[in-house]
Chains A and B, each alone.
Chain A
Amino acid sequence: DGEWARHDEL
């Protein structure tokens, strides 16, 4: 999976 899977925003 790409970076999008990491939801680091609130």
Chain B
Amino acid sequence: VLLLKIRATRSCRGISLKTQELYALVFICRYLDLFYSYISLYNTVMKVTYLATAFSIVRYMRFDKVVRQTYDKEQDTFRYIFLIAPCALLALVLNHRFSPTEVLWTFSIYLEAVAILPQLVLMQRTQNIDNLTANYVALLGAYRGFYILNWIYRFATEKHYRQWIVWISGVAQTALYADFFYYYALCWKANQRLQLPA
């Protein structure tokens, strides 16, 4: 959805480069297992797709002659270090096994939970939020939100399905969207363009 917006409108207005770069980092750290484990063709294709689209979006926003001029750097002020440092620290302490790939995987789980924050802050400062931007954020939130249903199903049907790091992070991630979803639903019901209160 985001690539569609950027390519069709030649603009990344209202999109946080910080969030996009954090997602690229999340996918790098999480999908290192592409090199040493195979789960299914679907799983591999989706991992490669996420990596490719994340990097493509960052490339457009940073280097495309037209698109990069629409990036509002002054408004996108969230500091990377405030998200990366606590997640890295937490991953070093709270993990299933203290190995490089496992710690990086855990770091990616924690970082994904909070990676939306720069985007949410930027949207709060934006007067006219594009429909595509609003839909993109809603879909991103719904993506992990729907996982919760899947986790309940898997917990009930699979014997060794215990993933508390993933569950807690996923619920926290979804909770961060709660406020956004509330206003998204209100505006959708009223058939109005999304506006977030300051």
Contact = CB atoms under 8 A, between A and B. Distances in A.
Given A2-B160, A3-B160, A4-B96, A10 B166 contact: no
A3 B43 contact: no
Interface residues of B, number: 20
Interface in A1-10: 1-10
Contacts of A2: 160, 162
A10 B96 contact: no
B4 interface: no
B105 A7 contact: yes
A7 B33 CA distance: 9
Interface string B128-166: 000000000000000000010000000000111111001
B99 to A, nearest CB: 10
Interface of A: 1-10
Interface of B: 30, 33, 37, 39-40, 43, 46-47, 50, 96-97, 105, 147, 158-163, 166
